[in-house]
Homo-oligomer: A and B are copies of this chain.
Amino acid sequence: MQHSIATVSLSGTLPEKLEAIAAAGFDGVEIFENDLLYFDGSPRDAKRICDDLGLKIMLFQPFRDFEGGRRDKLQHNLDRAERKFDLMQELGTDRILVCSSVQPDVIRDDALIADDFAKLAERAAKRDILVGYEALAWGRYVNSYRHVWDIVKAVDHPNLGIILDSFHTLSINDDLSTLAEIPGDKIVFLQLADAPLMAMDVMEWSRHFRCFPGQGEFDLASFLGPILKNGYKGPLSLEIFNDGFRAAPTRITAADGLRSLLYLEETTRKALESSNKAEDARVAETLFAPPPPVRYDGVEFLEFAVDDAAARRLASWFDKLGFAHTGTHKSKNVSLYSQGGVNLILNAEPDSFAHAFFVAHGPSLCAAAFRVDDSRAALERAKLYKSRSFESRVGPNERQIPAVRAPDGSLQYLVDPGEDGRTIYDSDFDPVETKSPQAALLTGIDHFALGLPAETLDTWILFFRAVYGFTTEHEWVLPDPYGLVKSRVVRSPDGAIRVPLNISENRNTAIARSVSTYRGSGLQHVAFATGDIFAAVAAAREAGLPLLEIPRNYYDDLAARFDLDPDFIERLAEANILYDRDPNGGELLHVYTEPFEERFFFEIIERHHGYEQYGAANVAVRLAAQAQSRARQQSRHAPWSD
């Protein structure tokens, strides 16, 4: 299918927008009139830029408040349309969007409105222009695509058709069955937008919260499927009004837009294929078909960018967490630490990807590796979704591990079992003699959480959904003492990999500090799974790991909230372990370390009886305890000042 986007969806000046749209790989563009209005060149100049960039101008929009107006204004409105037709000819486009009137005095008479459009279509015919009529969800009289379709049928003119917009239809929960009646060649254009479900005024919702397909919660496949089955052959076009997009880097937003249309094609294809009808299958064949998502079996390793000094300091924390130094890389300054199937890597190799990451961000997570059943298919899918891949420098007999660049430039390795039964550690690392093995208390990486600049969250969510086929959990809003934090978890379908993504709009929250420290996104914490948290805490304390102290008041309140054995509460309090219980009786016990150099911290986590969440009820006490810990440390070094 062809892909298009409305210029209003992006930030910047018109030339900046057009360059980004071309760079992302779109075929064409809807010119939003205001972008042209504020452009300091002529419409012909705009057309020339598009021509040079290989972009087709697919639509000019919007033309407002045309139909059903006061009769003495009709001639003026038709003249106004002619002016826009002039402009369209300079732009070299033959399609115009007319949106339904929002004027309070619009005449509520379908025959009269049809007559207005008949006049307009006559004029359009003389100029070889196609007029598309679109229902705004807040149109004063005409506000549904079904009403528009009735009028278009009544006019029955080859130069008048309908324009469909997913937002205006899905936001009012409109009946989709009439879509099946509209022949594809009467659909002048098709606009697509997703949105989070919100209980608010529909115009405000539309103007500020639309997002790209796959970033919101609308069922767009059910909307698009019937349209394609009726033979619509025009472009899929994005029209997104979003406050975040207006402020985000233009090229990144445009690239997200193209990825979102591919994702929508794949989702729609799967929906069509699942019907098992031959006609649906024929339509499905025309849609984007990357290899399906692979199976994910967990986090294979996490890799930290360090220098030698940071490597020593971080290795000491790993040691206190019970990890053994199990390998040194055959050809690089890279060390492996392991315990119970959990692998952590410290990469201090100069002149490497990790070194560049260290220079830019300091000690930080530079890569995560996902265990997959088919790394080739996973990489192929990622590439078709326009991800950048990465090949590292390898020594002789070392394995080349396929990798994908995440939105922040960090790497995500795709590791499959390997055909010969040898692990990547066998190929690349020499074993190290270390302290005598002890029973591993940490048995897996339950999740690892990232702190992101607020405006990048939508990019990350679409990346995980499209590139990996991950799902998203609902958003949590969490109180930091200095603002609000929002958390959204992306996870592989069975939960083997879980990545909470955290953002904050406020400047002084822990997440905002993290973004500032890393100069971008970065690791917030790693949660290790354990089967015996009391033993894990005892061992960590014995080893001198600094655990976060939890205020006594928390435990007194726990006694009021849950019907727990007082002795058990005392054991929790003594070990600084937090507790949560879900409505189904699932239980969570978890403990936090102090932060490692104000960057990230570790969590040890024990789940019982199918507890699936992350202890959100305890995040506030953790954030407050961290803030108080930081305040104490600062007051040791410097007097309070503000």
- The answer to whether A553 and B482 have CB atoms under 8 Å apart is no
- The answer to whether B484 and A11 have CB atoms under 8 Å apart is no
**A36 part of interface (Cβ distance < 8 Å):** yes
Contact string, A534-567, partner B, CB cutoff 8 A, digits 1/0?
A: 0000000000000001011110110110010000
Contact string, A2-13, partner B, CB cutoff 8 A, digits 1/0?
A: 000000000111
**A283 part of interface (Cβ distance < 8 Å):** no
Given contacts A11-B481, A243-B483, A559-B83, contact A37 B627 (CB under 8 A): no
Given contacts A201-B199, A246-B506, A247-B483, contact A624 B11 (CB under 8 A): no
- Taking CB atoms, residues of chain B closer than 8 Å to A43 are 553
Given contacts A553-B37, A560-B80, A628-B40, contact A484 B249 (CB under 8 A): no
**A39 part of interface (Cβ distance < 8 Å):** yes
Given contacts A13-B624, A38-B620, A624-B13, contact A243 B80 (CB under 8 A): no
- Taking CB atoms, residues of chain B closer than 8 Å to A480 are 246
A residues contacting the other copy or chain, number (CB 8 A)? 55
A329–B296 CA distance with the chains assembled, in angstroms: 77
**A200 part of interface (Cβ distance < 8 Å):** yes
- The answer to whether A509 and B38 have CB atoms under 8 Å apart is no
- The answer to whether A83 and B484 have CB atoms under 8 Å apart is no
Given contacts A246-B506, A247-B507, A557-B37, contact A13 B631 (CB under 8 A): yes
A39–B628 CA distance with the chains assembled, in angstroms: 8
A552–B508 CA distance with the chains assembled, in angstroms: 45
**A251 part of interface (Cβ distance < 8 Å):** yes
A199–B506 CA distance with the chains assembled, in angstroms: 24
Which of B40, B201, B508 contacts A549, CB < 8 Å?
B40
Residue of B whose beta carbon sits closest to that of A629: B40
Which of B76, B200, B246, B553 contacts A200, CB < 8 Å?
B200
Residue of B whose beta carbon sits closest to that of A76: B563
- A-B pairs, top 5 by smallest CB distance, nearest first, are A38-B624, A247-B506, A247-B483, A40-B551, A37-B553
Extra A-B contacts (4), CB below 8 Å, given A39-B624, A243-B505: A36-B553, A39-B551, A41-B551, A246-B483
Please, could you name 24 A-B residue pairs with CB atoms under 8 Å apart, sorted by A?
A11-B481, A11-B482, A11-B483, A11-B508, A12-B481, A13-B481, A13-B624, A36-B553, A37-B554, A37-B557, A38-B551, A39-B553, A40-B549, A40-B625, A83-B560, A200-B200, A243-B483, A243-B505, A246-B482, A246-B506, A247-B483, A247-B505, A247-B507, A249-B642
Which residues of A does B touch, CB under 8 Å? 11-13, 33-34, 36-43, 76, 80, 83-84, 87, 199-201, 243, 246-247, 249, 251, 479-484, 505-509, 549, 551-554, 556-557, 559-560, 563, 620-621, 624-625, 627-628, 631, 642
